[in-house]
Amino acid sequence: MQALIVIDMQRDFCPGGALAVSGGDEIVPGINALMPEFASVILTQDWHPAGHSSFASGHPDRAPYDLIDMPYGPQVLWPDHCVQGSIGAGFHPDLETDRADLILRKGFRAEIDSYSAFFENDRKTPTGLDGYLRARGITALTMTGLATDFCVNFSAVDAARLGYSVTLHQDLCCAIDLDGSLITALEAMEAEGVTLA
Ligand code: VGL
Ligand code: ZN
């Protein structure tokens, strides 16, 4: 059984949003068009409390996109984005959310970020998605959404390590691309056996 995973197709990651990925909105029609081909459609939603520890605004001596050391490892500091209940945390208005079987929220703990749909950034606290997929007999995942080099990458790598058959739909993803992070991410996914399609 195959699932389409749509990562973080939220207003804040689209042009005009707080952490806009250039061209991020252009993949919405293609994602919608792909939904009927899948037995299951799962959406993720980046969902941070105000003042989240990944927001540069809470680190007075730091700027957005700085890399800092957190107790769980390195962490990029971001502009405030996807604050729980805000307009920016909502899905892109054209995304067909009705088709979703599950909307998985992540990044809701103030002290730790969660790029991956499977584990928080300590790479070991589970979100519960693995259990959900296993319980439903879903074994193959096609990954789409934002951003290719962060949340899509971490989700695809974790999924491959968990034993899923993973395909990255490259045309239906879009990258932030900080200092070559896109090429690094593509190499990481390939090394884990993710099919780049
Ligand atoms: C994301 C940075 C911060 C993403 C989420 O969805 O790729 N990137 N939070
Ligand atoms: Zn975030």
47 CB near ligand 1 (under 6 Å) = no
β-bridge partners, 70 = 73
The pLDDT tens digits for 48-63 are 999 999 999 999 999 9
Helices 153-161 and 181-191, packing angle to 10 deg: 10
Nearest to 117 by CA among 141, 97, 136: 141
The pTM assigned to this predicted structure is: 0.98
d(CA 77, ligand 2 centre) in Å: 9
pLDDT average, residue stretch 63-92: 97
Report pLDDT digits (tens) over 113-134.
Answer: 999 999 999 999 999 999 999 9
Check if the beta carbon of residue 123 is closer than 8 Å to that of residue 161: no
Q: Which residues surround ligand 2, an ion (CB under 5 A)?
A: 46
* Catalytic-labelled residue, pool 8, 80, 113, 149: 8
Q: Which two tokens stand for residue 41?
A: 């459609």
Q: Which of 14, 151, 173, 174 is catalytic?
A: 151
